[in-house]
Amino acid sequence: MPHKMTLTGSATGPLREYDRYVAFDMREKGSPSAPKGLKKSTFISYTVFVAKKAFNKTGLTKKSIMHEKILIQGEPTLDIPLDECPGEIGIICFQITVLPNKNDKEANDSNDKKEARQEVSKAQQEVAATKQEEKQEPVAKEAKTVQPEEKKTPVQKNKDVPQAKQLPTQPKGTQDIVNFDEIIVPEAFLKTRPNPVKTEEVIEFVKRSGHLDKPLTIEKGTKVLKDGYRRYIVAKTVKMDKVPVVYEHQK
């Protein structure tokens, strides 16, 4: 069974392009201690080989790969010519992912929470303004008439009209907004792994718009997730307190 390896860090050398793949060098620190009698390792150098199609999907360039932190998952190989593999170990890459910068992530989280608070505050102000108008309307009508029957009619009418539920800006089709922590994820979803490229696209959409592209589907009573596990992962990644949902009634 092939040995799997995972590397994290930035490229330590320039990007090299070949016919169907690209290559670049990385290195990692060795263990700070070793068994007695054995030499300690300092740095281990790797040469990573990535298919051009997979590399282009990351959005990396020759310049940015030297500064972005990336995650490589693959297996070691001894079948690459030495002139193409200056590193001590060659790695055939099966998956490459650009890791978010910690400072950028904290700034985005702060902006997202600030925008959410502003949306909630705006909705509360609209509800307060609506209630104030309803209180003023019957008073104005009562001042124009002396008939007691007409004084009671507007008040009774307002009691019969239910208040519309005010929701912040959410994706089309949203029926409700629930606390993220209340959603129960079935074990079948937890065993799957959504495509990281498509997941990253949804994360970028949330950063631009401030909300998910589609609501999650949950059961009405149990709040068990029925559809939208990728959006659930995105909401967890960007630390959403509340998420938009549509209900699927229990059968």
Alpha helices in the chain (DSSP H): 52-58, 102-144, 148-160, 187-190, 196-209, 229-237
CATH number of the domain to which 178 belongs: 3.90.1530.10
Indicate whether this model's pTM tops 0.75. Answer: no
Q: Which of 80, 102, 124 is the last residue of a domain?
A: 102
The span from the CA of 126 to the CA of 138, in Å, is: 19
- Average pLDDT score over residue span 2-11: 85
Structure tokens given for 23: 């290559």
The span from the CA of 238 to the CA of 212, in Å, is: 11
Residue 173: inside a domain: yes
Same domain, 9 and 96: yes
Beta sheet of 89-98, edge-to-edge order:
5-9, 70-77, 89-98, 43-51, 21-29, 16-17
Same domain, 97 and 180: no
**List of residues 6+ apart from 183 with CB closer than 8 A:** 216, 218, 223, 224, 225, 232, 243, 245
Residue 133: inside a domain: no
Tell me: the pLDDT tens digits for 157-209? 555 544 444 455 788 889 899 999 999 999 888 888 889 899 999 999 989 98
Same domain, 95 and 177: no
Residue 192: inside a domain: yes
Tell me: the pLDDT tens digits for 101-155? 766 656 666 676 777 677 767 777 877 787 777 666 655 555 555 555 555 555 5
3-class DSSP state of 157: helix
Same domain, 10 and 91: yes
HSE of 206, CA atoms in CB hemisphere, 13 A: 30
Contact 102, 44 (CB under 8 A): no
Same domain, 173 and 97: no
The span from the CA of 88 to the CA of 152, in Å, is: 89
Q: Which of 86, 102, 118 is the last residue of a domain?
A: 102
Domain span at 190:
169-251
Tell me: the pLDDT tens digits for 67-86? 899 999 999 988 888 788 98
CATH number of the domain to which 55 belongs: 2.40.50.140
Tell me: the pLDDT tens digits for 8-24? 888 998 999 999 999 99
Residue 87: inside a domain: yes
* Total of domains in the chain: 2
Residue 235: inside a domain: yes
Residue 121: inside a domain: no
Tell me: the pLDDT tens digits for 15-68? 999 999 999 999 887 776 778 878 777 788 899 999 999 999 999 988 888 889
Residue 156: inside a domain: no
Residue 207: inside a domain: yes
Same domain, 97 and 173: no
Q: Which of 51, 82, 102 is the last residue of a domain?
A: 102
